[in-house]
Amino acid sequence: MTGPPPLTGLHVLEFAGLAPGPFAGLLLADNGASVLRIDRAITNLTHSSSSELPPPTNDLLTRHKSSIAVDLKSASGIALIKFLIPHTDIVIDPFRPGVLEKLGLGPGVFLSLNPRIILGRMTGFRRDGRYKDMAGHDINYIAVSGALAMLGRKGDKPLPPANILGDFAGGGATLFQGILLALLAREKSGKGQVVEANMVDGSAYLVTLPRMLMKTPMWDRPRGENTLDSGCPYYDTYETKDGQYMAVGALEPQFFAELIKGLGLAGRGIEKTRNDRNTWPGLKAAFTRLFLQKSRSEWEKVFDGTDACCTPVLDYRELETDPTREGDQRPAVTLRDTPGLALSEGPLSRDPATGQGPGIEGGSFSGVVLSPGEGGEDTLKEWLGWKRGKDFEVENGGLVRKPSSKL
């Protein structure tokens, strides 16, 4: 019998922002926290008496979240936020350095209102670095961290891995980790604290082993000439006859032996010379020629069930539509007794520890949009028992606290 998700009961205020902050909030929400997003108030549109919701924002990282609209440029809007702070466990600050302080909501203010609060702050560049006052995106942050320089093929320019490494791995997921550490520390001390995360340090930390390997023969050559960066023939991808691809990662001798057996190259002494880099260009050319002789599905029949470390390169279109593939997204980790919430839709008979609950319509392939103000008033009622007209009202499209109300 599974229990509720591990973060159930925690209250989170997430200031609306770009991908890293919302992703940290998504991870909290997927694990049971109640996440309330603070959106920009729009007069006569947000929290209006109309039954129609305002247009949703571009943020798709919204599952399990709700929203209220607040005018952060007004004193009454800031006052509402301050009223919420004593009832909040975690705040996510996605702004550039100094923005929260200019609003009168700096770390000192939050901690004075609630000594147990955890303020998770997400920036791109370091707050104390040479780029701290500059705008940037994922590609810029991983560029100055050193990570981007390692990615790409020989003779080609550095290749950014979309915005996965900076925004999500080095950004949102790292901030989530910091918030969890702060929650653990709060259990011991009873005190909250400020959690600082930035995508430069986050992406650099993820590259810990590769940057150490650069001092060894495994990665001491220019980009694209090393074992793990496409220089090695038995750690690369190869096109198949039907324009698909197979991924090869046969690094260990026993796995390499299985690979060349499947390719029809066994018994030619290749096992003994595979570590000689002078043989790599010829071996890569041979692998390229052989993989083009069969379709991807034919190669799957050859290598499925073996230790050749040779698998198909699957794209999300087929993962979404082919039930024989493992395309149903699950929580990143499984807690057997208190698992997170289900992401993909699935039968009630499935193991609840792989993600409990019915799942989200559209699963992990369709983002859930959230309109400013959507569901937020219900969340305020759930958190505090607040009701419109009694405890708060609408002013210029944003919620404000009624002067006569008490905490």
**pLDDT band, very low/low/confident/very high, at 345 (cuts 50, 70, 90):** confident
pLDDT in tens, 238-261: 999 999 999 999 999 999 999 999
Say if residue 105's pLDDT is above 60: yes
For CATH 3.40.50.10540, the residue range(s) in the chain are: 11-208+329-401
The pLDDT, as a whole number, for residue 328 is: 87
Contact between residue 280 and residue 231 where contact means Cβ atoms under 8 Å apart:
yes
Q: How confident is the model at residue 365 (pLDDT cuts 50, 70, 90)?
A: confident
Q: How is the beta sheet containing 34-40 ordered, strand by strand? A: 65-70, 34-40, 11-15, 90-93, 118-123, 193-198
For the chain, the first-to-last Cα distance in angstroms comes to 38
pLDDT at 48 over 80: yes
Mean pLDDT of the 378-395 span: 95
Superfamily of domain 11-208+329-401: Crotonobetainyl-coa:carnitine coa-transferase; domain 1 (3.40.50.10540)
**Residues carrying CATH 3.30.1540.10, the chain:** 236-321
∠ CA 209-214-216, nearest 5°, is 100
Give 236-321's CATH code, choosing from 3.30.460.80, 3.10.350.10, 3.30.1540.10, 1.10.357.10: 3.30.1540.10
Q: Which of 383, 288, 345, 376 is nearest to 53 (CA)?
A: 376
pLDDT digits (tens, 9 = 90+) for 1-38: 789 999 999 999 999 999 999 999 999 999 999 999 99
Q: How far apart are CA 277 and CA 227, in angstroms?
A: 10
On average, the pLDDT of the chain sits at 94
Whether 59 is a known active-site residue: answer no
Q: What is the pLDDT at residue 406?
A: 55
DSSP string, 242-267: TS-EEEEE--SHHHHHHHHHHTT-TT
pLDDT of residue 208: 97
Q: How far is CA 276 from CA 91, 226, 281, in A?
A: 54, 12, 10
**CA-derived radius of gyration, the chain:** 26
> Does the pLDDT value for residue 348 go beyond 90?
no
Report residue 34: phi and psi, to 5°: -90, 110
CA-wise closest residue to 159 among 229, 243, 211, 226: 229
The pLDDT score that the predictor gives to residue 405 is 56
- Show the beta-strand stretches assigned E in 219-363: 235-239, 245-249, 310-312
Whether the pLDDT of residue 121 is over 60: the answer is yes
- Is residue 263's pLDDT more than 90? yes
- Residue 384: enclosing H or E segment and its boundaries? helix 376-384
- Is the separation of the CB atoms in 407 and 80 below 8 Å? no
The single-letter DSSP state of residue 276 is -
Task: Give the confidence band of 151 by pLDDT, cuts at 50, 70, 90.
Answer: very high
DSSP secondary structure of 43-94: TTTTT-SSSSPPPP-S--B-TTEEEEEE-TTSHHHHHHHHHHGGG-SEEEE-
- In tens, the pLDDT along 162-210 reads 999 999 999 999 999 999 999 999 999 999 999 999 999 999 999 999 9
Q: Which one of the listed residues 59, 138, 167, 328 is annotated catalytic? A: 167
pLDDT score of 346: 82
Give residue 367's pLDDT band: very low, low, confident or very high (50, 70, 90).
Answer: confident
Residues 279-287: what's their mean pLDDT?
97
According to DSSP, the β-strands at 310-312 and 245-249 are antiparallel
Q: What per-residue confidence (pLDDT) applies to 361?
A: 81
Please, which pLDDT band fits residue 51 given cuts at 50, 70 and 90?
confident
% of the chain beyond a pLDDT of 70: 99
